[in-house]
Amino acid sequence: MQDLSGLRIVEIGEKPFVKQALPRQTVFFSTWPDEDERKLVDDQNCVVSLAKLGALWRILREPQTSLVVCHPPFYSPWHWRWLVRVVFDRRTAHRLRSFPRTMGSQVLRSRISAPIAILDHSDLPIINRNNFFLLDRCRLYFKRELPPDRWRVFLKTAHANLPTPRFRELTHNQARIDKLRPISLGVPLSAPSPFLALPTRKTSDIFFAGRIRGSSFIRQKALSELLALRERGFVIDVAEQQLDQSEFYRRCGQARLTWSPEGLGWDCFRQYEAAMCGSVPLLNQPTIERYQPLLHGKHAVYYDVEESGLTNAAVNALADKPRLEAMGQAARAHVLAHHTPHAIARHIVRTSLETIDHG
């Protein structure tokens, strides 16, 4: 296993993901428009500003810098949506002051010494056109919602429609595809560490807390199946209002299964949080390529979205409660090993550096 203690990493983006895992090795440049500069007083953290753009450019060119990890922005600084927001937002002055933050990733257009890795945790199953330069400059592009047919990341962006055989055969496009890697969202940065101890007693069969209206059709379609199980004598715990984190975790831990249907993206915090609490995630079949997946029958229960899919999967799983208990423990161990922010960040750094060494 590669020793990461001597690295110097630069992270650019709205959240200090790698910084949290490797705090002493990482310098974090925040591009979050609403970042409070007073909270970033460490010399290893700063908000991107006109004054700091020069410092960022210099550190990127220094030979001591081992790796740059960049979170891709949703819009380019000159996108019309950003400009409209600046002009019409009631906090126009604040938006103007924060404009240099949108330039953080643009520094990577210049010639720099350090290799680049991209961490794309967005809900989008595509790569926006404004981030193609990052895809071209990076060694690896880690994408959460990566379609099984990776060419679909270019749907309506690099190609006018679904990428054609001719588009897929171009050497330049094949080189882009070769850089793509799946990554999970994992447990949120806000989760307590070390994580909660397992609860000692299960009090419900299935737990769910989350948005239904305005979310995935998959949720709307299957909710009636979930509630119908209550009429059959199963203990179904559905949160009637938004829960704080500790209460959400407590009720996950008390449930044998936690329903985690697809939302705006298939991969979500809930499935990893449920597993961390010792509950078995109940998931609709995946629509993405996954990193270190929770496996059916070992860590999770998967169901088909067609009629009665959730019902059949849940009833069959709940028929063997001792097995569910063992699966919950296996799921927790798997998430602790692979899907905490620390584990994900270290995987990104190690994999990127290995690619450089073998390139």
Cα angle 63, 66, 72 (rounded to 5 degrees) comes to 115
How high is the pLDDT of residue 78?
60
Residue with tokens 């895992």: 21
Mean per-residue pLDDT, 224-247: 94
Tell me the percentage of the chain whose pLDDT exceeds 70. Answer: 86
Contact 329, 300 (CB under 8 A): no
Contact 161, 199 (CB under 8 A): no
Mean per-residue pLDDT, 45-72: 86
Phi, psi of 13, deg, nearest 5:
165, -170
How high is the pLDDT of residue 192?
83
Helix 321-338 / helix 341-358 crossing angle, nearest 10 deg: 50
Mean per-residue pLDDT, 311-318: 98
List strands edge to edge, sheet with 26-30: 45-47, 26-30, 9-13, 67-70, 116-120, 140-143, 180-182
Mean per-residue pLDDT, 293-321: 97
94 pLDDT tier (thresholds 50, 70, 90): low
Residues 6+ apart with CB under 8 A from 308: 225
Mean per-residue pLDDT, 56-79: 87
How high is the pLDDT of residue 89?
63
* Cβ atoms within 10 Å of 162's Cβ, excluding its own: 12
**Does the pLDDT value for residue 56 go beyond 70?**
yes
* Cβ atoms within 10 Å of 336's Cβ, excluding its own: 17
Mean per-residue pLDDT, 70-87: 73
36 pLDDT tier (thresholds 50, 70, 90): low
Closest CA to 29 of 45, 18, 17: 45
How high is the pLDDT of residue 52?
78
**Does the pLDDT value for residue 32 go beyond 70?**
yes
* Cβ atoms within 10 Å of 254's Cβ, excluding its own: 20
Mean per-residue pLDDT, 23-31: 92
- Condensed to tens digits (0 to 9), the pLDDT of residues 322-345 reads 999 999 999 999 999 999 999 999
Closest CA to 141 of 67, 70, 65: 70
Mean per-residue pLDDT, 276-286: 97
Q: What does pTM read for this prediction?
A: 0.91
Contact 168, 156 (CB under 8 A): no
**Does the pLDDT value for residue 29 go beyond 70?**
yes
47 pLDDT tier (thresholds 50, 70, 90): confident
Contact 113, 60 (CB under 8 A): yes
| Complete domains list, the chain, with CATH | 9-186+341-358 (3.40.50), 204-338 (3.40.50.2000)
**Does the pLDDT value for residue 254 go beyond 90?**
yes
Longest dimension (CA), the chain: 66
pLDDT, averaged across the chain: 89
Contact 16, 30 (CB under 8 A): yes
Mean per-residue pLDDT, 139-143: 98
74 pLDDT tier (thresholds 50, 70, 90): confident
